[in-house]
């Protein structure tokens, strides 16, 4: 596959153009391009660019949403082929994401989910208004490494604590790292409720998730056999 096509894929993500992203994915499959190459050389670099430009204040949330949608449509074309070929992407970790109970806002969470997916995490998005028990049940079901809890309102932010309590009740807390985010959330709040990490935006959530995976690996290595 030519560099031009990879660069067009990358550009389709930067432009937030879902139709172009899907068309390029279809065309690549028709030409026999391995789907993993299209993802790694075309679409993921596009998402990286978007994340970097967002962090620099050169792209804005509506741009990110459009890029996330473009990424989603491209992946929807490529994933069935990945499965058919049995060529799983190397998996960075399993993440359960959701917006806390009482809160119906999910823009931030969708962005985090998209960027995590783009960076090789397997993301299970529980949606909005999710009670703590549901986070715990899903984490158990999928063997989550990380649970990410979002909240947009100061009132619902308090329910992030409940998610941690539910994980404790379910006996999962030692196996699962918890990261929290959302407009009113601060590092101090994350510490107060006993979360393992806080990220101020979607791009830093990816770095945090990688760091938490490392901590988890180190923790496991230190455990007595």
Partner 1 sequence: MRPRFQLLDKSLIERIVGEAFQLIQNPGVRVAPYVVELLRAAGIRVENEVAHILEAIARKALESAPRGFSLYDRAGKPVVRYEGDNVHFDPGSSCLNILDPKTQQARPAQASDLARLVQVAEMLPQFSAQSTAMVCNDVPPEIGDWYRLLVVLWYSQKPVVTGAFSASSLHTLLELLAIESGGADNLRQRPRAVFDVCPSPPLNWSEFASQNMVDLARAGVPAEIVSMPLAGATAPVTLAGSVVQHAAECISGITIHQLAKPGAPIVWGGAPAIFDMRTGKTPMGAIETAMLDVACAEVGKYFGLPTHSYMVAGDGRRIDAQTEMESGMSAELGALAGINMISGAGMLDFLACHSIEKLVIDAEAIASAQRLIEGIEPRGESLAVDMFAQTGLSGDFLKLKETRALFRKEQHFPSAVVDRGLATMDETYPDVVTRAAQRVEELLSSCRRPDLATEREKEMLAFARREGRKAGLTGLPGISVPE
The contact set with partner 1 (CB under 8 A) reads 57, 60-62, 104-105, 107-108, 152, 154-155, 157-158, 183-184, 186, 188, 192, 201
Return the number of other C-beta atoms located less than 10 Å from residue 221's C-beta: 7
Nearer to partner 1, 61 or 85 (CB): 61
Collapsed DSSP state (helix, strand, coil) of residue 121 = strand
Spatial separation of the C-alpha atoms in residues 12 and 20, rounded to whole Å:
6
Collapsed DSSP state (helix, strand, coil) of residue 96 = strand
Residue corresponding to tokens 């279809």: 26
Shortest Å distance, C-beta 157 to partner 1: 8
Nearer to partner 1, 94 or 111 (CB): 111
Shortest Å distance, C-beta 199 to partner 1: 12
Shortest Å distance, C-beta 25 to partner 1: 28
Collapsed DSSP state (helix, strand, coil) of residue 111 = helix
Nearer to partner 1, 106 or 145 (CB): 106
Nearer to partner 1, 77 or 157 (CB): 157
Spatial separation of the C-alpha atoms in residues 193 and 208, rounded to whole Å:
17
Shortest Å distance, C-beta 201 to partner 1: 7
Return the closest-CA partner of residue 209 out of 79, 59, 51. 51
């Amino acid at each position: 596959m030519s560099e031009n096509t990879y660069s067009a894929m990358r550009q389709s993500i930067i432009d937030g153009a879902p139709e172009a992203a899907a068309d390029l994915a279809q065309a690549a499959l028709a030409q026999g391009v391995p789907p993993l190459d299209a993802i790694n050389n075309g679409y993921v670099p596009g998402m990286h660019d978007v994340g970097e430009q967002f962090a620099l204040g050169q792209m804005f949330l509506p741009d990110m949403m459009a890029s996330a949608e473009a990424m989603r449509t491209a992946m929807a074309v490529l994933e069935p082929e990945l499965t058919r070929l049995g060529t799983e992407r190397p998996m960075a970790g399993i993440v359960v994401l959701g917006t806390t109970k009482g809160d119906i806002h999910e823009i931030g969470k969708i962005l985090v989910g998209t960027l995590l997916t783009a960076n090789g995490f397997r993301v299970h998005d529980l949606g909005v208004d999710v009670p703590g028990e549901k986070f715990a049940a899903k984490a158990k079901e999928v063997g989550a490494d990380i649970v990410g809890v979002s909240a947009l309102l100061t009132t619902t932010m308090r329910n992030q604590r409940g998610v941690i309590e539910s994980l404790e009740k379910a006996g999962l807390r030692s196996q699962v790292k918890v990261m929290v985010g959302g407009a009113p959330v601060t590092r101090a709040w994350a510490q107060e409720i006993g979360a393992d990490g806080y990220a101020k935006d979607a791009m830093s959530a990816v770095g945090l998730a990688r760091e938490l995976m490392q901590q988890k690996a180190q923790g496991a290595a230190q455990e007595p056999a």
